[in-house]
Amino acid sequence: MAKVKTTFFCQSCGSQYAKWQGQCNACKQWNTIVEELIHKPEKSDWKSPTSTSKKHASKPLKINEIDSSQEARLNMQDAEFNRVLGGGMVPGSLTLLGGEPGIGKSTLLLQIALKLNYKTLYVSGEESQKQIKMRAERILPNSDNCYILTETKTQHIFKQIESLEPDIVIVDSIQTLHSDYIESSPGSISQIKECTTELIKFAKETATPVLLIGHITKDGHIAGPKILEHMVDTVLQFEGDRNHVFRILRANKNRFGSTNELGIYEMQGSGLREVSNPSELLISEKDGELSGNAVAATLEGMRPLMIEVQALVSTAVYGTPQRSATGFNAKRLNMLLAVLEKRAGFRLGAKDVFLNITGGITVDDPAIDLAVVASILSSNEDEALPSDYCFAAEVGLSGEIRPVQRVEQRILEAEKLGFSTIFVSKYNKIALKNPAIKVQLISKVEDLVGFLI
Ligand code: TYD
Ligand code: MG
């Protein structure tokens, strides 16, 4: 029996200390240091079959001489997932998928495992094989390549991997794994670090990609040390409002691609459906034109997204008017109302204003400003805007209409979806030749009032 030893870890950054202290020297956080039992690994767990024969130190090579041809990416059979990864999965890479409980992480990765044309091992420490089978039956009943293992000990997992030799390994979740070489409980910092190190070693030596699910804490960070995010190649975040059907997959870190890409899914009774044209779903179907509705041509990452904004302006019942915004920054709403009051002469001071972005989405793109202003004007006048109008511009404090980035992409998306007119800033440089859509250039909020009312 090896000597049992305790060490102190910072829960925030993973730094290690010989004794307890109140503040972490590395990340300066207070009260984050906890004691954990460990005993040092005598040997590493993952032993690749060829590692003994290939034992030679790495030599420096000229960058031009390095062969990159075998880095062909694996097609994940899921257009949204491939896009977020930057065109498929890189062999030997470690990808961490984080997200709130119940958002659909297990569903997403099981669905991918079922669809893949590669031999896939799905290791679950959270559900039994029967439970996973029940879920799989709802998603995709027939799959020849997917193997399910319920196991939490890394040593046992590696033994199974050695005999099965899968092409892809999925682990649900890193917080349930534990290694024999560390005595602290699963989910503790030293266990997470050790298990991830073992998995990285396995992935790099066999060029097998590994997908890990990671839980997130109350404040939205992946549970465990920050160092976990540094260790892996890609960190994906699965997010969305649980009460709405949309789920957004984005990359927070990607060593092999852009972090601007975005994947959109819809949660259905039979798993997650890829949404290739989100704009069509976000704009509600309606029979007549309704006052207070306006469509914004926004960008989420690199993707154009037409989003519907709804406003309701009514006479305040109580003394102080209420202002509330769902999916939009409430402070920005107040600012836009002040601009309307001062520059366009609207007396909104005694009115309640409610704003809602449909589809349960939160928008940060400033290009939504003009649509917000238009929807408020429309509701205030109780006059519907033509349903084939859309907007893409930022509104400044003096009521000026400011240009937005990638305006051509927004115009093309609006054109594709059959809008007749898009309102953009006069100061945007637009290089498009004869678009079928009318591009209405405006420079001040007052101009918009003239057009709409
Ligand atoms: P799950 O994938 O287990 O979430 P996580 O692993 O992120 O904790 O499940 C997410 C939710 O999705 C669950 O509450 C039920 C729902 N769901 C569906 O609506 N349809 C389905 O086909 C499946 C499998 C789950
Ligand atoms: Mg789960």
DSSP letters along 370-400, please?
HHHHHHHHHHHHT-PPPTTEEEE-EE-TTSB
Is the CB of 247 inside a 6 Å radius of any atom of ligand 1? no
Do the Cβ atoms of 122 and 147 come closer than 8 Å? yes
Q: What is the mean pLDDT of the chain?
A: 86
**What does pTM read for this prediction?**
0.76
CA of 58 to the centre of ligand 2 (A): 39
Find residue 293's DSSP bridge partners. 310
In this structure, the number of other CB atoms found within 10 A of the CB of residue 148 comes to 20
Task: Let me know the angle formed at the C-alpha of 197 by 195 and 203, rounded to the nearest 5 degrees.
Answer: 100
Kind of pairing between the strands at 323-326 and 351-357: parallel
Instruction: List the residue whose alpha carbon is closest to atom 22 of ligand 1.
Output: 271
Find residue 267's DSSP bridge partners. 272
Position 161: which residue type?
I
For helices 369-381 and 445-452, what crossing angle results, to 10°?
50
- Token pair recorded at residue 65: 């001489």
Residue 383 has pLDDT above 60, yes or no: yes
By percentage, how much of the chain surpasses pLDDT 70? 91
Contacts of 151 (CB under 8 A, 6+ apart): 123, 125, 157, 160
pLDDT one-digit tens code per residue, 285-297: 666 678 899 999 9
pLDDT one-digit tens code per residue, 43-55: 555 665 554 444 4
Give backbone dihedrals phi and psi of 196, rounded to 5 degrees, phi first.
Answer: -65, -40
The dihedral built from the CA positions of residue 124, 125, 131 and 135, taken in this order, carries a sign that is negative
Pairwise pLDDT comparison (210 vs 418), residue with the higher score: 210
Give backbone dihedrals phi and psi of 190, rounded to 5 degrees, phi first.
Answer: -70, -35
This model of the complex carries an ipTM of 0.95
What confidence tier does 361 reach under pLDDT thresholds 50, 70, 90? confident
Is the CB of 269 inside a 6 Å radius of any atom of ligand 1? yes
Kind of pairing between the strands at 210-215 and 94-99: parallel
In this structure, the number of other CB atoms found within 10 A of the CB of residue 241 comes to 17
Is the CB of 104 inside a 6 Å radius of any atom of ligand 1? yes
Residue 94 has pLDDT above 90, yes or no: yes
Ligand in closest contact with the CA of 137: 1
Is the CB of 240 inside a 6 Å radius of any atom of ligand 1? no
Average pLDDT over residues 408-419: 88
Q: Which one of 131, 140, 267 would you pick to mutate in the ligand 1 pocket, going by the greatest count of ligand atoms within 8 A of its CB? A: 267
- Any binding-site annotation on 100? yes
Pairwise pLDDT comparison (129 vs 68), residue with the higher score: 129
What is the rounded distance in angstroms from the CA atom of residue 235 to the CA atom of residue 212?
Answer: 10
Is the CB of 103 inside a 6 Å radius of any atom of ligand 1? yes
In this structure, the number of other CB atoms found within 10 A of the CB of residue 187 comes to 16
CA of 104 to the centre of ligand 1 (A): 4
pLDDT one-digit tens code per residue, 127-148: 999 999 999 998 987 888 899 9
pLDDT of residue 55: 46
Position 420: which residue type?
S
Instruction: List the residue whose alpha carbon is closest to atom 18 of ligand 1.
Output: 269
What is the rounded distance in angstroms from the CA atom of residue 306 to the CA atom of residue 309?
Answer: 10
Average pLDDT over residues 56-84: 82
Residue 40 has pLDDT above 80, yes or no: no
Is the CB of 99 inside a 6 Å radius of any atom of ligand 1? yes
The most confident of the ranges 219-223, 232-236, 285-289, 312-316 is: 232-236
